Structure 1
Amino acid sequence: MENSPKPIYLIDDFEFVPARFLLIDHRPEKGGQERKLEPKQSKILELFAQHQGEIVSREVLEREVWAGTIVSEQAVNNKISELRKLFGDNYKAPKYLKTHPQLGYELIAPISLLNEVKPEPAEPDQYSLAPVSTEHLPIKSSYHAAFFYLICIAMVVGGGFYLYKVLENTHQHEKKAVSLSPVTVEKGQEFSLNVRRDGQLTYSYRPLGAENWRIKIKSADGMKERYITDENEDSNSPVWLGNTDVIFYIKNIGNSCSIWRADDVWQKNVHKRLAGCGNLASITPLSVGDKQEWLYFSRFNGQSKFELARLNIETLNAETLVAPPSASFGDYSSTISPDGKKLAFLRASSYSQVDIMVLELATGAIKHILTVTHNIYRTSWDNSSETLYYIDQDNRLVAQNTEDGEITLLASLQQKSLAPYLDYDGVPYIVEGDFHVADIWEGDVSTEQYQEIVASSYQDYGVEVSGETTLFTSNRSGLPQIWLKSKGAPTQLTSFKRYSAIKDKHLNTDLNVLFFIQDNELYRLGIDSQKLVKLTPAGWRVESLVSDCKTGESLFTAKSNGIWSLYRFDNAAQRPIKVLSDIYQISADCDFNKYYGQQFTGLGLVEISLYDQTTYKLSFAELAKITSIEWQVNNNRLYILDKNKLVSFDLLTNKLVLSHDFSDEFVVHTFDVDAGRQYFTAKRQTEMEIKKIIFN
């Protein structure tokens, strides 16, 4: 409630009365039409009016309008779009609100202050809301609102409970404590929880070191439990059919995925195959609609993309819901809302960037909610069917309203956490732990002689070797940072203040400048000065990076305006120069001054001539069988990591010269080759526990 008068503004032909949340259209054809503004619309417009002719940054809008609530960029975009609609403005040729890329917004219309002030302190009871934008383009989320933080206050050793300070309602600044209570007690890995209305549980489980997941059920009181699938089968993603003793689940046989039904699971436990879900093993969740008519899932289609589909439970007819766009790698991990009207899902826009999307089943409209650069695995709806729960990049449980984009912090989780799930009563659960911990190994796999060279109890990965210098990424100091290992102990090169996704990296020849990809953007860091400079324009998505064998300049691949291309960063001009189109990844074989790329179209491999900007496609029979994106070229040998097997081809003879399967030792994630030696990130399984979150 306002107790002091507010000014009234005349913005071109519009009269703006902030105290009444009112915008009056005095254009001749409108004749003084009044529009009630929603409070945030009014506050934003008031800020613009107070700073007419000045650029108002997004940070100022977030601070002044959202008052410390974490807010996505999409939420700000929506409000600006709504105001433009009220003014009948065109963002391409604006008369009122002008966008200044990377800077903010400016009110450019003529404005004057009216003398007559008629304050009305009462806040209106109802607002006329403009439609929320259903913009399809993914927009990167921002987490600038750092007014509040969550502090871990205690860990109670007995009973397995952990206590945290949280902000359950960032609007009211109300702090509450939460407890994490173990749901299961097995030693191993637990995942894919689903809770029946009467409290009975089903989830996936596997012992440490085992390859296959099994499905387990457990009574609400915990006194009765059993496996419903065999240890020789890989089964996961179970979901109950309402309150019945029927469970749907996914079974993987090799690279074949299928959906199965288990009836009378506590007694006869009869299983039946229902449908296929592609030729790729999957752990994506299943969900059943509110009327128990449809089973929602994702399948790997013939175009090598995941697509959303649903299966009629009675007729067993399957239908595709969304055809993923050509510029993405597919849609997966779908979850139906409790009211059965919306389907939340994940869309892989690149191999390191994922968009959270919502599909309106009645209209087919798709709305972008958020872009993330970490493994999110799944989201979960609350009972209102308006809010999604997920784990953010800072390992916090958050809830995001899908209508206005506002994000509420619920809990800061001390241990790595995955895949939140809400039961019918709205109680949240999480998986505490991770699938693997990663270490770095070096050796000659042809002789099976290799050794661990970088190891900790944290994640050490993304190794890149050149001579005596080894760069890698590790979260051993808390957040993912870039480290250098030479002759002595590893040295931390970066001091990032937030979680980020770090990919390719290289040092200059003097070893004093670091180039790297962070959150799909290219950066340069002075090692001594710690001066950080972003090298790519806003909106670009950088995927891979190497150093030019002769000049040392950065060669990188990026998507701009929907097209993947190869670029060179010109150090003299301080800008990227386009070299070739349709190049998604790049590798440099500096021993022979050669470059190789992977095309986005069909993921085919090509040799690249930087001199005349042409490509030559690598095509031989054995290569046609490979679909992996993990590959390197060194000393005229093409190395490919495919399905945990490292193979190598001599590019002079097109003959297979190496094939080594790591399956009996560990899971290999990424690798590098230098001087004929292989360096790779090896993963080993760690404990994963399902825990209930209790808000005290």
Structure 2
Amino acid sequence: MNNSIKYHLANLIFCPATKTIAKPDGSIVKLRPQRANILALFIEYKGQLVTSEILHSRIWKNRQVEDKTVQAALTKLRTSLGWRAGENLINERSEGYRLVCEVIEVNEPTYTQTVAPQELVDKTVKKGGITKSVYAAVFAVIAVVFITMQYFAFSANPPDTVREFNTKPITYIKGQELKPSLSPNGKYLAFTHAKNKTLQYQVKVKLLSNNKFLSVDDASFSSSASWSANGSTLYYQAFGNEECLVKKVQLIEEMMFSKPEVITSCGKEKSESPLAVDKNNEWLYFSYKTAPNKAMYIKRINLNTGKEQQLTSPTEDAYGDYSLSLSPDGKTLAILTFDASAIGRVYTMDLQTKEQVLAFSYKHLLYNVDWAKHGKSFFYIDQDAYIVQFNLDSKVKTKITQLSQSSQTIQVIENGSFLVGFGEFYISDLYKRRLGTYKTVQLQESHFNDHSITPISVAPEQYTFVSNRSGLQQIWLYDNGSLKQLTDYKKQLLIKELNLSGDNTSLVYLTNSTVNVLDLSENVFQKITTNETHFRSPIWHCNNETILATTKVNDVWSLAEIIPSTGTVDILLKGVTSIKSDCKNDKYYVAQEEKFGVFLLKNLQDNIQATPLLADYYFGSGRQWLVENNVAYFVDQRVLYSINLKARTKPEKYMSNVNMVGFNVASPNIYFSEKILNDSYIAQITAEGSKK
């Protein structure tokens, strides 16, 4: 390929020399080297089939990579180009891939800010006819293009400016392997493992010299191993008899540990939050949760005296302070907190003054951060599978490298070397089950995360759901055997909580914490509320004209009514965290802040009923419960229950050992998506030239 030539393909201009894409709106996108090389390869073949063998040979240099790695790379390329699956770059099943759009060489300068791509091909500007004003305009455009390209090329510090990284798997047990903790001498690897979808995690230790494994505790659930600075003690958490316990074992001799010893309690719920112990083996830090309706907070215990201190006091009825990491000098704690508005924040706490400083916010679930050895920055894995370094002094994020697939937990070994829990945490598929039976039917099976299924009709079968099968999360429609993408978002958004109007014409849903409406008949989607206000639990009013949702008012969750045409928000009641409707009986049910059970709210006019229903259960944000024709369905501890609210019967188990991520009822079926534990492994990610 001639790098001095640019290429016009579909509605884009590709410049191989700078690895940039110019889009019709004037924006410039800098491609990662691998994506630019893949695109150049397809242009070289000009519509011919590019087989998997060619891709492996030309792009991966015949290194052994799985097919899903190739698929992920092409999906990310499509996302960078703004193309949908099956558009311009298509997959010919079991054969390879083909670029099907026309490719035209562009030899003249390309001014995408002012001229449409097709006009660039059809027109030639004569130099003699250009006036001074046009020269000035052209010069200005060139300047804008140059500045924009320099911004994309350098300000984000993209991965192609650093060394190449190698990936070396170091665990291989079937199931999920994550949260690595390497002993200080590099001899032992402790990690958390689950071998099946029940998520009964176990702490395991591997002797790296001979690949021998063992479990350190007989408890049915244990997690979050962390070595002491001298490598003689392994700390972890275990759950049994309805209590979370912080424990330790001593390394007696090679691959031999003492009996587990209880240090303290970490609350009343299973915990996968990290532990940290300072270099003097004096203070141990952990997260604590007292009850389902309480947030996690950070505590520490003095290992010499047994003295305990509470360090944080979150007020949200959500995750709270769920993750932590201690700086190498033991003076600063990095704290991850996730609030009920679906906003995550990373704070640093000075352990001497207890002063907290916000580092940055995020809208995806970040599992952990880990400090650099010099203690001036820390590393994490973002939602696009980049290892990112955050500098505490400059507040600058630098992308170090992009992993070949989504990964979760990270440990810094040394400069340029990391241990990573490699692979997607979960995958999810769609199912339906006839009420009153035990037969479950799988509706969608894919390598993508399909969730939030919302039935429209039973015959013919129609339902909507959320999937990332086109690269980004979008809403899809299944219509009696065919699939159609309904939304076309251009950036990564968390789409969730779909709710269908009673007349089956519109969906209300959240993107992150913003309310949106999708008109199914016109296939038009629009944002209703602003990004500044956070909402959850949106549903249609039984009149199908307005939307009910909960939002924060003066730091109190409140019930609001939203007019879709104007976005006007009217606050109805304070202290409400979620709402569900039973329009067949003209009733509404709400959950209240920090209160167990649900409460009847008839016609939105009466006061909330004082006596709770299902008073033994906590319903929080409203994602795991609904009411249909006087029957409440809810999930608690991986069990789906149903109960007739009118007859006041006891809850009946409907499905057990199911990890639901949303469900809906359309008689005679219940529709749901279930998270399935994804196989993953721990890998060492090392920059070329670094010490291995």
Whether these two folds match at TM > 0.5 is yes
1:301 to partner: Cα distance:
2.4
Q: Which moved more, 1:469-478 or 1:503-512?
A: 503-512
Alpha-carbon distance between aligned partners in 2 of 1:255 and 1:273, rounded to the nearest angstrom? 15
- The structure-2 alpha-carbon separation of the partners of 1:156 and 1:462, relative to structure 1 and needing over 3 Å to count, comes to farther
Partner Cα distance (1:435, 1:307) in 2: 24
Q: 2:228 aligned with 1:241, yes or no?
A: yes
Which residue in the other structure is 1:672 paired with? 664
Q: Quick one: distance in 2 between partners of 1:553 and 1:637?
A: 24
Q: Is the 8 A contact 1:168 1:176 kept in 2?
A: no
Name the residue aligned to 2:418: 428
Instruction: Give the match for residue 645 of structure 2.
Output: 651
The 5-angstrom pairing of residues 475-624 of structure 1 reads: 475-506=468-499, 514-525=507-518, 533-571=526-564, 573-602=566-595, 604-612=597-605, 614-620=607-613, 622-624=614-616
Which of 259, 268, 273 matches 1:270? 259
Q: 1:532 to 1:560 in 2, by over 3 A?
A: farther
SS in 1 for 2:361: strand
Q: Which amino acid aligns with 1:483?
A: W
Give the match's secondary structure for 1:202.
Answer: strand
1:416–1:580 distance in 2 versus 1, CA, 3 Å: same
What secondary structure, in the 3-state scheme, does the structure 1 residue paired with 2:585 have? Answer: coil
Return closer, same or farther for 1:476/1:294 CA change in 2, 3 Å cut-off: same
Alpha-carbon contact 2:452-2:497 (below 8 Å) kept: yes
Q: Classify 1:210/1:526 alpha carbon distance in 2 versus 1 (closer, same or farther; 3 Å).
A: closer
Q: 1:341 aligns with which of 325, 331, 339?
A: 331
Give the partner amino acid of 1:259: V
- How many residues align? The count is 549
Residue 631 in 1 paired to residue 625 in 2?
A: yes
Deviation at 1:527, TM superposition (A): 5.9
Equivalent of 1:301 in 279, 290, 297: 290
- CA gap 1:687/1:560 in 2 versus in 1, 3 angstroms: same
* Cα separation, partners in 2 of 1:636 and 1:526, compared to 1, 3 Å: closer
Give the aligned partner of residue 686 of structure 1: 678
Which residue matches 2:191? 203
CA deviation after TM superposition for structure 1 residue 263, in Å: 0.7
Match in the other structure for 1:282: 271
Structure 1, residues 442-495: CA drift from partner, whole Å, max 9, x if none?
113532122112221221111222434422111122221111223232321112
Determine what percentage of the aligned residue pairs are the same residue.
23
CA distance in 2, matches of 1:572, 1:168: 42
Matches within 5 A, 1:84-95: none
- Paired with 1:353 and 1:255, the residues of 2 have a C-alpha distance of 29
Q: Could you say which residue in structure 2 is the equivalent of 1:7?
A: none
Deviations 1:215-268 (A, max 9, x none): 222345x32533142566322111111133310111122642101110125335
1:443 aligns with 2:430: no
Q: Is 1:312–2:302 an aligned residue pair?
A: yes
Q: CA deviation at 1:577?
A: 2.0
The whole-number CA distance in structure 2 between the counterparts of 1:219 and 1:398 is 29
- Deviation string 1:75-134 (CA, Å, 9 cap, x unpaired) is xxxxxxxxxxxxxxxxxxxxxxxxxxxxxxxxxxxxxxxxxxxxxxxxxxxxxxxxxxxx
The question of whether the paired residues in 1 share the 8 Å contact of 2:595 and 2:618 is answered with no
Question: TM-score scaled by structure 1?
Answer: 0.73
Task: Identify if the C-alpha distance between structure 1 residues 662 and 509 changes in structure 2 by more than 3 Å, giving closer, same or farther.
Answer: closer
Unaligned runs of 5+ in 1: 1-143
CA drift of 1:285 comes to 1.0
Q: Quick one: which amino acid aligns to residue 279 of structure 1?
A: K
Indicate if the aligned counterparts of 1:387 and 1:400 stay in contact, CA closer than 8 A.
yes
Residue 626 of structure 1 and its aligned partner are, at CA, apart by 4.5
- Give SS of 1:184's match: coil
Counterpart in 2 of 1:385?
375
Specify the SS of the correspondent of 2:576: coil
**Contact map agreement 2:588 2:604 (CA 8 A) in 1:** no
Please tell me the residue identity of whatever aligns with 1:197: P
Q: 2:30, 2:153 within 8 Å by CA — same for their partners in 1?
A: no
| Structural mapping, 1:64-103, within 5 Å | none
Give per-residue Cα distances to partners, 1:357-385, cap 9 Å, x unaligned.
Answer: 22121111112222222221111111232
1:159-192 Cα shifts (integer Å, max 9, x gaps)? 6698999999945972432222112122221111
Q: 1:611 to 1:301 in 2, by over 3 A?
A: closer
Structure 1 pair 445–298 and aligned structure 2 pair: CA distance change class (3 A): farther
Q: Quote how far apart the aligned CAs of 1:573 are.
A: 4.2
Q: Give distance in 1, aligned partners of 2:523 and 2:360.
A: 30
Partner of 1:190: 177
Q: Which secondary structure state, in structure 2, belongs to the residue aligned with residue 655 of structure 1?
A: coil
Q: Which residue of 1 aligns with 2:50?
A: none
SS at match of 2:616: helix
Which of residues 395, 400, 405 in structure 1 aligns to 2:390? 400
Seen in structure 2, the aligned counterparts of structure 1 residues 412 and 610 have a Cα distance that, compared at 3 Å, is farther
What is the distance in 2 between the residues matched to 1:597 and 1:623? 13
Q: Which amino acid aligns with 1:575?
A: T
Deviates more, 1:230-239 or 1:144-153: 144-153
Matched residue, 1:177: 164
Look up the SS of the partner of 1:394 in the other structure: coil
Structure 2 letter corresponding to 1:633: V
Tell me, in whole angstroms, the C-alpha distance in 2 between the residues paired with 1:158 and 1:171.
Answer: 27
Query: Does the aligned pair in 2 maintain the 1:228–1:269 contact within 8 Å?
Result: no
Paired with 1:627 and 1:178, the residues of 2 have a C-alpha distance of: 45
1:370 aligned residue: 360
Structure 1 counterpart SS, 2:609: strand
**1:361 counterpart (351, 356, 360):** 351
**Residues in 2 aligned to 1:478 and 1:537: alpha-carbon distance in whole angstroms:** 25
Tell me by how many angstroms 1:638 deviates. 1.3
Within 2, Cα distance between the matches of 1:445 and 1:336?
A: 50
Go from structure 1 to structure 2 and tell me whether the alpha carbon gap of 1:254 and 1:180 turns closer, same or farther (over 3 Å shift). Answer: farther
Distance 1:478 1:436 in 2: 17
Q: Bigger CA drift: 611-620 or 288-297?
A: 611-620
Report how far residue 541 of structure 1 moved.
1.0
Shift of the alpha carbon at 1:343? 0.9
Corresponding residue for residue 104 of structure 2: none
Distance 2:192 2:604 in 1: 54
SS where residue 297 of structure 1 aligns?
A: strand
The 3 A distance-change label for structure 1 pair 351 and 460 is farther
Contact 2:503 2:544 in 1 (8 A): no
Q: Does the CA contact (< 8 Å) of 2:178 and 2:420 recur in 1?
A: no
User: 288, 291, 294: which one pairs with 2:280?
Assistant: 291
Give the drift of 1:209: 4.7
Alignment CA distance shift 1:427-1:527 (3 Å): same
Q: Which has the higher helix share?
A: 2
User: Distance between the aligned counterparts of 1:611 and 1:240, measured in 2?
Assistant: 55
Separation (CA, whole Å) in 2 of partners of 1:202 and 1:645: 31
Work out the CA distance in 1 between the residues paired with 2:297 and 2:471: 36
CA RMSD of aligned residues (A): 3.0
Could you tell me how far apart the structure 2 residues matched to 1:268 and 1:484 are?
54
| Residue 404 of structure 1, CA deviation | 3.3
Structure 1 match to 2:149 = none
